[in-house]
Amino acid sequence: MTDLLDLALGNLLSPIILSFALGLFAALARSELSVPEAIAKGLSIYLLFSIGFKGGVAVNEAGLDATLVGALVAGAVLSFALPFAAFGLLRVMTGLSALDAAAVAAHYGSISIVTFVAGTAVLTSAGIPSDGWMVAVAAVMEAPAILAALWLVARSGGGEQMDGELWREILLNGSIVLLVGSFAIGWITGSEGMETIAPFIVAPFQGVLCLFLLDMGLVAGRGLREARGILRPGLLAFGILMPLIGSISGALAGMLLGLGTGSTMLFMVLGASASYIAVPAAMRVALPEANPSIYLTLSLGVTFPFNLTLGLPIYLAVARWITGG
């Protein structure tokens, strides 16, 4: 218990968490502080490219093996299955319609790449290695959750046609294309490519992440301020309970694959996180009648802060216990 408290305290006092807290405070206090949209988008592009490239280099160095293939399959299965658990919980715990429940559920089967990055930062601070190819697992966990949500809506009689525009949004969403594309570049160029651009994607990474989380804090704070009437107790409880359920699923996947402490923890983070970039974009096309105030506020305003502050230390402690690391 003492170790868990030390982990939590160390995480709360890290620059990336304090940057998020600053943005959250500024928004809730109605400060004029803001990050221009173009700069925020640039920060996002930098992080996605850097994450994908590093993952590709790691696969180039380690080689494609059965463990990686198994992890990719496990990630896709997890992404497709978690929305069903989320949908069932939402229907029991809240008064959401089937449409809104399915839209929210899609977010909790997909992943937050920023939470994933924060998880890798926690591992780095703790001196615990992880498999670089886990970023490829993150990439495959975007689309299955969206497909699961559409199946849930279709089953309830309110489905949308899977037309070309929807498939395009699912498969060619900008964040997915950039993550997968930079992963491919890193895989092709390997360590020589990394040596060439390391000053750009390694040294500045933590500082850029702090600025990005400052902006995320501002966005989350504004969402919480504007949606106070929407976040009823059942929804708030779901926003904290669902990531814990997802993390358990990720832990089981890590155990079955025989992963080390770092990669098991990252699998837990992927299972626990909720998308607030790729899935909202797809939901606007697939389920335009769903209320974005609900799914965005839950994923970004409740689950994201929970994972950053308390979730990550919990997941690391559990991963250590499971693997003996």
pLDDT in tens, 136-193: 888 888 778 888 888 888 776 655 555 566 666 666 767 778 878 888 999 899 989 9
Q: Are 252 and 78 in contact (CB under 8 A)?
A: no
pLDDT band of residue 41 (cuts 50, 70, 90) is confident
pLDDT the model gives residue 245 = 96
Summarised one tens digit per residue, pLDDT across range 299-309 is: 988 999 899 88
Whether pTM exceeds 0.85? no
pLDDT the model gives residue 155 = 76
pLDDT the model gives residue 82 = 96
pLDDT the model gives residue 1 = 54
pLDDT above 90: residue 322: yes
CA neighbor of 71 nearest in space, from 322, 274, 303, 271: 271
Q: Is 47 exposed, middle or buried (0-12, 13-18, 19+ CB in 10 A)?
A: buried
pLDDT above 90: residue 269: yes
Residue 102 to residue 113: CA distance in whole angstroms:
21
Amino acid at 37: E
Amino acid at 86: A
Residue 10 to residue 308: CA distance in whole angstroms:
12
